[in-house]
Amino acid sequence: MALLDFLKKIEPDKKKSPFLHTLFDGFFTFAFSPNATTKGGVHIRDGMDLKRTMVHVVLALQLCYVFGTYNIGHQHFVALGMHTGFVEAIHLKLAYGLIQLLPIFVVTHLVGLGIEFWYAAKKGHAIEEGFLVSGALIPLIMPPDIPIWILALSVAFAVWIGKEAFGGTGMNILNIALLARVFVFFAYPTTISGDHVWVSTFMDEGVVKAAAGSVAEYGWWHTGFFNGLFEWMGLDTFRAGATVVDGYTGATPLGLAAKGSWADVTAVYSPSQMWWGAIPGSIGEMCKPAIIFGAVFLIATGIASWRIMLGAVIGCATMGLILNGWGATEFMLIPWYYQFIMGSFMFAVVFMATDPVTAASTTRGKWIYGFLIGFVGLIIRVLNPAYPEGWMLAILFMNVFAPLIDHYVLEGNMTRRAKRLAAIKSTAS
C-alpha cells in the first residue's frame, strides 16, 4: 500500500500534463490489477483486464523468442561452415542472435508505442493495450536482416493506417502485425522474399547476401564486447573475415520446394530439422514445439480459440489432399502432412489467426473462418509462383470476410429459431 500511495501522490495532472498522465496511467494499470466490482446484485472482482489478457499472449511467445534468437546465430554459422552442430557454440549463437534481434524489438516498440502514447494523450484517454501483442509479434515475423528504417515505416503504417484510422484498439479490421509484414512485402519485396534474406549477415560490396565467399560482417559488439568476454571465459570467439562456404544456398524449404520437389527439400533439410526449426526463416516462426507450447498455453488460459486452430488444420489438410490428388506440379505432390512443418503455418494459425479482434466471433463462424484460412493459405503457398508462402495473405483476406461470416451464421441461427417457434405455435394451436 505504501508504493500505491506514493504513486498516487506523484500522478501528473490530466489537464496540465496530458501526455505525462497518459504515460503514468499506462504503467500504473500495467503494474496493478483493476480495483473495481460489477454493479448489481452480484459482485465479482476480476483481475483479468485487457492488459493481462495481452500479457498472456506475450508469455506464450517467449519460447519462440528464445529459439528464434538462437536460430539466427545457428543459421549464420551454418553458412560459414562453423559450429554446424545445433548445440555447438551456444554462447556465440545466442550472442549473435541477440545483437540482431534487440534493435528490431526496440525499434518496433519505440515506433508503435510512441504512436499509441501520442494518440492516447491527444484523445485524453488511457493508453490502449493492443500494441503489447502486436509489438511482440512483429519482430518474430520479420527477417533477421530487415533494415531498421524499413521496419520503422512498416510499424508506423500498420499502427496509423490499420489501427488508429479505425478508432484504435478493438476497432481494427486487419491484424496489425500482419499488416506491418504485408507493407514490407509489397513496398520492399526484396527485403522479405528470396533465398538470402533469411540468413544474417553477409556482405559483398555493400549488398547483403549469402553467396559463397561473402564476408561475415561483425561490429564492435561482436569483436569487442562479446569477444572480450568470451576470451576471458576461455570460449570460442567471433572470427573476423570468415566467409560463406562453397555450395551454401541459404534457401528455405519452401524456396526449394517451389523450384523443385520434396526430394530437393530433404536433400538439404530433414523433416526433423523442419520440426525443431533448425532452418532459415522468419525469426520466431520455425520451432514447432515452441509454437505448440504457446498454443496449449493460450487454449488452457482461454485466450485463443481452439476451434480456429483446428479448423485451419482441417482446411490445410483438405487442400493438401486435393493438391496431392491433382499432382500437376512437384510442389503439389509434397505429402500434405509435411505442409504443416515446412514454413510458418503453425505460428500463423496459433498467434495470428486467433486474434479476437479480427477473427470471427461466433462458434460456427470460428470453424468456417479457420477452415478457410487453412484452405486458401495452402492454395496461395503452392500455386503462387512469386512467393511460396500463403498464411499472411490468407489471414488478412479472411479478416475482411470475418464480419460477413458472423453475419450469415447469426442470420442462419435466427432463421432456424424462427422456424422452431413457428412450429411450436402451430402445434399449440
My answer on whether 78 and 225 are in the same domain is yes
Q: Summarize the confidence of residues 378-395 as an average pLDDT.
A: 88
Cell numbers linked to 155: 510499424
Torsion of the alpha carbons at 324, 391, 66 and 139, rounded to the nearest 10: 150
pLDDT score for 72: 95
Q: Summarize the confidence of residues 219-227 as an average pLDDT.
A: 95
pLDDT tens string 307-342? 999 999 999 999 999 999 999 999 999 999 999 999
Residue 35 or 284, more confident: 284
| Cβ pair 254, 280 in contact under 8 A | no
In this prediction, residue 44 has a pLDDT band, given cuts at 50, 70 and 90, of very low
pLDDT tens string 345-375? 999 999 999 999 999 999 999 999 999 999 9
My answer on whether 219 and 322 are in the same domain is no
In this prediction, residue 250 has a pLDDT band, given cuts at 50, 70 and 90, of confident
In this prediction, residue 120 has a pLDDT band, given cuts at 50, 70 and 90, of confident
In this prediction, residue 75 has a pLDDT band, given cuts at 50, 70 and 90, of very high
Number of structural domains the chain divides into: 2
The parent domain of residue 427 ranges over 295-429
My answer on whether 235 and 302 are in the same domain is no
The yes-or-no verdict on residue 22 having pLDDT over 60 is: no
pLDDT tens string 134-157? 999 999 999 998 999 999 999 999
Percentage helix, strand, coil for the chain under 3-state DSSP, each rounded to 5? 65, 0, 35
In this prediction, residue 63 has a pLDDT band, given cuts at 50, 70 and 90, of very high
pLDDT score for 315: 98
My answer on whether 242 and 358 are in the same domain is no
Residue 29 or 199, more confident: 199
Q: Which of 250, 278, 311 is the last residue of a domain?
A: 250
Q: Is 144 exposed, middle or buried (0-12, 13-18, 19+ CB in 10 A)?
A: buried
Question: Using omega within 30 degrees of 0 as the cis cutoff, is the peptide bond preceding 201 cis?
Answer: yes
Would residue 256 count as lying in a domain?
no
Would residue 219 count as lying in a domain?
yes
Nearest Cα residue to 23 out of 34, 35, 10: 10
Distant-in-sequence, close-in-space partners of 328: CB < 8 Å, separation ≥ 6? none
Cell numbers linked to 30: 500495467
Would residue 3 count as lying in a domain?
no
The yes-or-no verdict on residue 200 having pLDDT over 60 is: yes
Q: What is the DSSP letter of 196?
A: S
pLDDT score for 45: 46
In this prediction, residue 193 has a pLDDT band, given cuts at 50, 70 and 90, of confident
Torsion of the alpha carbons at 289, 290, 291 and 294, rounded to the nearest 10: 120
My answer on whether 246 and 309 are in the same domain is no
Q: Summarize the confidence of residues 231-251 as an average pLDDT.
A: 90
Q: Which of 233, 250, 267 is the last residue of a domain?
A: 250
What distance, in Å, lies between the first and last C-alpha atoms of the chain? 66
CA distance 291 to 382: 23
CA distance 88 to 51: 39
CA distance 315 to 296: 20
- Residue 48's region, left for phi above 0, alpha for psi from -120 to 50, else beta, is beta
Q: Is 421 exposed, middle or buried (0-12, 13-18, 19+ CB in 10 A)?
A: exposed
Would residue 346 count as lying in a domain?
yes
My answer on whether 305 and 209 are in the same domain is no
